[in-house]
């Protein structure tokens, strides 16, 4: 019996860490794009769907980042199930990038606008119009990274 416990401990230590703690398969392509765009590994990220109407008073909230300032591995992204059903691919990408902007890049909201009237950042509290993103996609991807660690 004395040898049984050490053998179990040795066996358990060799089990590989499961990649992606908890990312819904529908969100995974957007998480992978984020990783590629920023050369990051998000193996410890959690991104799930949730009916946000159940926990938010504001019915316009379609995504949240549950942020833990002291332990980034505990940050979680929740995307509203109903919104996702009707969102276009580009709106889905903007939403996931916005929430990962909070949870991974430590970004806060920005409300200012570019000269063309489009928001200055994907971190605008409202989801951008698709035409703004298409016109300025490279700028938005760069801006999100360059202004990381604001929180």
What are the pLDDT digits (tens) for 100-119?
A: 999 999 999 999 999 999 99
pLDDT computed for residue 45 by the predictor:
86
Q: Taking Cα atoms as reference points, which of 107, 96, 86, 76 lies closest to residue 30?
A: 96
pLDDT grade for 149, boundaries at 50, 70 and 90: confident
**CATH for the stretch 16-146:** 3.30.2010
pLDDT at 122 over 70: yes
What pLDDT score does 138 carry?
96
CA distance 107 to 73: 16
Question: Which residue has better confidence, 55 or 16?
Answer: 55
Question: In this model, does residue 39 exceed pLDDT 90?
Answer: yes
Query: Position of tokens 């760069």?
Result: 142
């Amino acid at each position: 019996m004395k040898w049984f416990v050490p053998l179990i401990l040795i066996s358990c230590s060799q089990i590989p860490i499961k990649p992606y703690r908890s990312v819904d398969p529908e969100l995974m392509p957007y998480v992978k794009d984020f990783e590629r765009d920023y050369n990051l590994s998000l193996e410890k990220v959690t991104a799930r769907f949730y009916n946000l109407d159940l926990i938010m008073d504001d019915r316009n909230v379609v995504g949240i980042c549950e942020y833990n300032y002291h332990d980034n591995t505990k940050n979680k992204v929740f995307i509203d199930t109903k919104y996702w059903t009707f969102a276009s691919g580009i709106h889905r990408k903007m939403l996931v990038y916005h929430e990962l902007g909070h949870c991974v890049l430590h970004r806060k909201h920005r409300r200012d606008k570019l000269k063309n009237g489009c928001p200055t950042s994907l971190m605008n509290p409202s989801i951008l119009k698709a035409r703004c993103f298409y016109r300025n996609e490279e700028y938005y991807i760069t801006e999100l990274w360059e202004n990381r660690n604001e929180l």
